[in-house]
Structure 1
Amino acid sequence: MSLNAKSSRGPGLLEVSDGLWEREVDDEDDYGGELGGVMHAADTPFTAAVKAEAHPVIEGNASLRSTLFNTINAIVGAGVLALPYALRLDGAVVGTLLILLVAGLSERSAAMLLWVSDATKQRLYAGIGGAVGGPILGKVVDMTVVLQNLGLLIGYVVVCGDLIPEFVAYSRGDTDAGEGTIDWQFRAIILAVLSAVVFLPLSSLKSLDALRFTTIVGLVCVLVFVASAIALGSMTAADPHTVPCDATRGEIRIWPTTFVGVLQSAPLMFFSFVAHNTILLLYGELKRQRDPERESKFPSKRDKMNFVVRVSLVVCALLYGLSSLFSYSMFRDVTSQDVFVDFGPRAFPFMAWVKMAYAIVIIFSFPIIAFALRRSLHNLIFGTGHVPTTMHAVVESAFVVAISALVGIFVPAVSTVFGLTGALTATNIMYIFPSGFFLVLHARHKAQKAEDPTSVSLPEPPKGLWYWAVVVFCVGVFVFVGSTTGVILGMVSPAASSSCVQGA
């Protein structure tokens, strides 16, 4: 189904017919009533949308600052725990370079996705897929987003199940907490209470902008862990005996020892930066320029969101790079798949508090991902044209939280969830879908322009982005095949487990 045909998935898609452009308007219309109705071909959808930039009609009320904080919080998360192990597989130099490379490619793919969002007038990932390739592709996109976000939420529950019971036990005087002494039933009770009292209410909020205050708290807690990792890593460089398992941890590896190790680490890298579906939702909530007389350094709302994404990825890459490099330099060959396991409270007493601070990061990141998940889940059930009510939000959030909590209680390792889910879904959401959509619409724009330059209904693509789309698409396909193979090989022939705790 082409972009110029009306979709059966509901209102909100474009219809171009006989020189006219018609767009149905619903309660969540991106541009309000000003762009509804029928418009002549001389005034294309894109030129009208550009004119609307100066009008007081806006899509949402989220400020630039709150959108920036929410975007950072949507990206940074449990990747802090898994990336030190990725550096163990890749080596310090290659691992750090891969973090920067993934961040750069993510910025380019996000720019493509935002352009495609404007071209199709869609703020939902499935809506874009339906506009570009029809309802079947829209369903495939939604299912991919659901699997990816569900895997991420389960990983968050696993992390909370590791960190919070350890802190509670340690605060009671158990200095061996976290080293295999946490009772499974105690862990399950804490996760059940956390899900009912915290996860469910926050995940049921109407908009992501309502989470702006919890996001700030989460970012402060991320900085606490990064600062702690830098301090401990610097102390270890000055005195290797700072780490109790110094005799077993080996040397800092600069380069990867095997190519299979690189393939196994790739999903962890890509999964740590995936937030494209949430970026679309935040883009819809970001407010436009209210006063047409007021000067702004952003020519359009899309330029403003591109700025937010760019700054967010720089911040997250810096946080990931510093925490991973210093954590790996401490534990080296005995770096665990979850680096917090290595920071045992017996050797690092104050780390129990740092771990609890990071648990707060995960707690406040959970509702952001859950919001995106329940929107995709709602689309699968009711279609993109159906506006969710408050009751829908509560019921769908309860379902998402319950599934995440139940699976998270029984899953022992966060790296298993991140590795397999990241290989199967993250590369599609981050690279294959955005670049593929961009290339399709770019070709349609080129064909329309060649046929009749005055009736082009798609926005002008950013210069040079087509070449990046080809690169990103090829990288996405290669990583999808290679990392999935690497993860399967790792599951069939797992590497010998080791950690600082075992070597202590």
Structure 2
Amino acid sequence: MAHQTETDDTKVLLSAQKKSSGVGGGGGRSSVPSACFNFINSIIGSGIIGLPYSMNQAGLPLGMILLLITAFITDYTIILMIKGGNLSGAWSYQSLVQNTFGFTGYLILSALQFLYPFIAMISYNIITGDTLTKGFQRIPGVGPDHILADRHFVILMTTVLFTLPLSLYRDVSKLGKVSLLSTVFTLAILVTVVIRAATLGPKIPAEENAWAFAHWNAFQAMAVMSFAFICHHNSFLIYSSLEEPTLRNWCRVTHVSVGSSAFVSLLFAVAGYATFTGYTQGDIFENYCQSDNLATFSRFCYGISIITTFPLECFVTREVVSNVFFNGVLTSVSHIAVTMVIIAVTTAISLTYDCLGIVLELNGVLSATPLIFIIPSACFLKLSGGRWFQGDNFMPCIILLVGVFVMIIGLIMTVMYPQDCSHGAEMPYCFANFTGSNATQPTNGKQHGNLTQKTGLF
């Protein structure tokens, strides 16, 4: 079949199909700016706090290059997905894969599309509990034994008061203003990280090879970046919520959203890594001292931002369940029931585990990489026809091969060199007797192994 494109003023049938099926965005009432805020909020979630660590894994110069490459591939494949949807008459990521690769492909995609946001919601709850409890402890009279310092209570409280009510919305366009609030808080966090890079960074001695061009852990780094940038599972939801769902409008939404997210992510990653170099943890907020008031403010902002991002991921998991088990149609009762079950399970897991470093890396390799690199490219190649590595098929072929390579090597590296976790530990430089020579000494009975594990290639 010859490659087809949509003209500027031609609306696709996707929005109408989704409305009639009762799933997805369903309202068609999002303006382009509102859709951009939803998309940016979807991208800048829990993954952003791991980006400084990805610079530690890859080496700062190479890490910056890989981050920009990941952003470009994200932008390209999001548009590729919508083009594939137009070619196949698909109204969701799942229907796109089913129309292209049949029921087997549909089941594989459904599992991946459910797994990624499901684990993301668990990480959101854990981060909320960790960041807000540390912030609450800065309030006079709130000590380590206070109920507000109990991560279990904080997770349950935020779930009941905020994430559950927001997740019960049926129309994703209603979250536009909430997403705008989340974006503002993210910018406040970015300012904090930049300020601390200038004020705290010079006081922390850099490790040897801190500014090396590349490290061997670059594939792990790209998995973390994929986890941070993935938003494909939300793409059809946000696309169908547009008032004017044309390809031109979607390209505007995609370029603005991914471009803005890439700028924020790059600045956040570089500033965070430049501050702590070899000390950089998987959660950058674990690096700041508990007595740091500016960091405490930033933790509060990030906790609120995460709370407002949670519902977007719940929308996706609920849609997957709806499509697989309810033929895409949820009644009011089943809508509430499915939402309650999803949130109950994710909350229960997040109350049990407090460190998901290895899980998040595996999620990036096994879920994010196929969803960003492999599946959109494979669908477009099969639907568009023509020879591989020629014309419009050249770039999808390259992205598909890169995705397979990153997935295989990244999985091997993740298993061989798992992410270090110093959850809840005060870093050595937070103590008055820190001189720089005790950089690798444990502060709570645990060795900060990542301080010395990286070796520069150049």
| TM-score normalized by the length of structure 1 | 0.76
Name 2:258's counterpart in structure 1: 313
Name 2:47's counterpart in structure 1: 79
| TM-score normalized by the length of structure 2 | 0.84
Matched AA of 1:252: A
CA shift at 1:117, angstroms? Answer: 1.1
Structure 1 gaps, min length 5: 3-24, 34-57, 289-299, 448-462
Name 2:396's counterpart in structure 1: 469
| Aligned 8 A contact 1:251 1:332 in 2 | no
CA shift at 1:216, angstroms? Answer: 0.8
Matched AA of 1:339: I
- The secondary structure found in structure 2 opposite 1:466 is helix
Q: How far apart in 2 are the matches of 1:190 and 1:441? A: 48
* Aligned mate of 1:482, from 399, 409, 420: 409
Q: How far apart in 1 are the matches of 2:287 and 2:219? A: 24
Name 1:434's counterpart in structure 2: 376
Q: How far apart in 1 are the matches of 2:125 and 2:191? A: 24
| Aligned 8 A contact 1:250 1:332 in 2 | no
Name 1:21's counterpart in structure 2: none
Name 1:14's counterpart in structure 2: none
Matched AA of 2:128: C
CA shift at 1:185, angstroms? Answer: 8.6
| Aligned 8 A contact 1:87 1:96 in 2 | yes
Q: How many residues align?
A: 412
Q: Against the structure 1 CA distance between its residues 169 and 279, is the aligned structure 2 distance closer, same or farther, given a 3 Å change threshold? A: same
Name 2:33's counterpart in structure 1: 65
Name 1:370's counterpart in structure 2: 314
Name 1:256's counterpart in structure 2: 214
Name 1:29's counterpart in structure 2: 17
Q: Against the structure 1 CA distance between its residues 119 and 61, is the aligned structure 2 distance closer, same or farther, given a 3 Å change threshold? A: same
* Aligned mate of 2:221, from 240, 257, 265: 265
CA shift at 1:381, angstroms? Answer: 1.1
- The secondary structure found in structure 2 opposite 1:171 is coil
Q: How far apart in 1 are the matches of 2:151 and 2:27? A: 42
- The secondary structure found in structure 2 opposite 1:215 is helix
Name 1:222's counterpart in structure 2: 186
Identity of aligned residues (%): 21
Name 2:362's counterpart in structure 1: 420
Q: How far apart in 1 are the matches of 2:27 and 2:77? A: 23
Name 1:165's counterpart in structure 2: 133
Q: Report the aligned-residue RMSD.
A: 2.8
The superposition leaves residues 181-200 of structure 1 with CA deviations (integer Å, 9 ceiling, x where unpaired) of: 89899211211121122111
Name 1:43's counterpart in structure 2: none
**Does structure 1 residue 357 correspond to structure 2 residue 301?**
yes
- The secondary structure found in structure 2 opposite 1:252 is coil
Q: Highest CA radius of gyration, 1 or 2?
A: 1
Equivalent residue runs for 1:237-248 within 5 Å: 240-241=202-203, 246-247=204-205
| Aligned 8 A contact 2:226 2:368 in 1 | yes
Name 1:277's counterpart in structure 2: 233
The superposition leaves residues 435-467 of structure 1 with CA deviations (integer Å, 9 ceiling, x where unpaired) of: 000000011xx59xxxxxxxxxxxxxxx95311
The superposition leaves residues 74-105 of structure 1 with CA deviations (integer Å, 9 ceiling, x where unpaired) of: 11111221111111111111111111010001
| Aligned 8 A contact 2:14 2:240 in 1 | no
Matched AA of 2:295: M
| Aligned 8 A contact 2:282 2:420 in 1 | no
| Aligned 8 A contact 1:59 1:285 in 2 | yes
The superposition leaves residues 376-429 of structure 1 with CA deviations (integer Å, 9 ceiling, x where unpaired) of: 12112123xx32222222111111111111111222224223201111111111
Q: How far apart in 1 are the matches of 2:354 and 2:147? A: 13
Equivalent residue runs for 1:443-458 within 5 Å: 443=385, 446=386
Q: Against the structure 1 CA distance between its residues 27 and 281, is the aligned structure 2 distance closer, same or farther, given a 3 Å change threshold? A: closer
* Aligned mate of 1:204, from 168, 178, 185: 168
Q: How far apart in 2 are the matches of 1:235 and 1:479? A: 36
- The secondary structure found in structure 2 opposite 1:170 is coil
| Aligned 8 A contact 1:32 1:59 in 2 | no
Q: How far apart in 1 are the matches of 2:207 and 2:59? A: 14
Q: Against the structure 1 CA distance between its residues 153 and 30, is the aligned structure 2 distance closer, same or farther, given a 3 Å change threshold? A: closer
Name 1:112's counterpart in structure 2: 80
Q: Against the structure 1 CA distance between its residues 370 and 472, is the aligned structure 2 distance closer, same or farther, given a 3 Å change threshold? A: same
